[in-house]
Amino acid sequence: MSERALRGTRLGATSYETDRGIDLAPRQTVEYACQNGHRFEVPFSVEAEIPHIWECRFCGSEALLIDGDEPEEKKLKPVRTHWDMLMERRTREELEEVLAERLEVLRSGRMNIAVHPRDRKSA
């Protein structure tokens, strides 16, 4: 192909294909509305599962399906703290025993605690 034929055609920006002779899949148009009062339509395939929530194309907030069922609330797991995970592995008596052992080691001086050089200067 000659370079002259492509000059000024904006390659990649424009498609030269047409929809002539092509049967498109059956579609349905669904309407959404956001909290800010924006209403817009989104085309979906007839076979597609329609989402209850869609991002508003005007402001980016969540838009709900008009004339649709309310979205199901997702079950949230309760937050597990470090203490909860620790109590899954040990009983309170075992923890008190471990604490007593560690305190004994600290008080006896058998544990070598390195002192940072910066801390020695200030002491």
Looking up residue 61, the CATH number of its domain turns out to be 2.20.28.270
**Phi first, then psi: what are they for 47, rounded to 5°?**
-85, -10
Across the chain, which distance is largest between two alpha carbons, in Å? 90
Euclidean distance between the first and the last CA atom of the chain, given in angstroms as a whole number? 83
Structural domain count of the chain: 2
Dist CA 19 CA 25 (whole Å): 12
Using DSSP, state whether 84 is helix, strand or coil: helix
Dist CA 61 CA 40 (whole Å): 13
97 within domain boundaries: yes
* Rg of the chain in Å (alpha carbons): 33
Q: Give me the tens of pLDDT residue by residue for the chain, a chain 123 residues long.
A: 555 555 666 666 777 778 788 888 899 999 999 999 999 999 999 999 999 899 999 998 999 999 877 767 788 888 999 999 999 999 999 999 999 999 998 888 877 666 655 655 554
Same domain assignment for residues 36 and 59: yes
Residue ranges of the binding site for Zn(2+): 34, 38, 56, 59
- Given this model, what pLDDT does residue 99 score? 93
- Given this model, what pLDDT does residue 61 score? 92
10 within domain boundaries: no
Give the structural domain span for 88. 78-110
- Given this model, what pLDDT does residue 24 score? 81
93 within domain boundaries: yes
Dist CA 32 CA 35 (whole Å): 10
Same domain assignment for residues 59 and 82: no
Amino acid residing at 120: R
- Given this model, what pLDDT does residue 55 score? 94
11 within domain boundaries: no
CA proximity to 32, closest of 46, 45, 51, 47: 51
Same domain assignment for residues 59 and 88: no
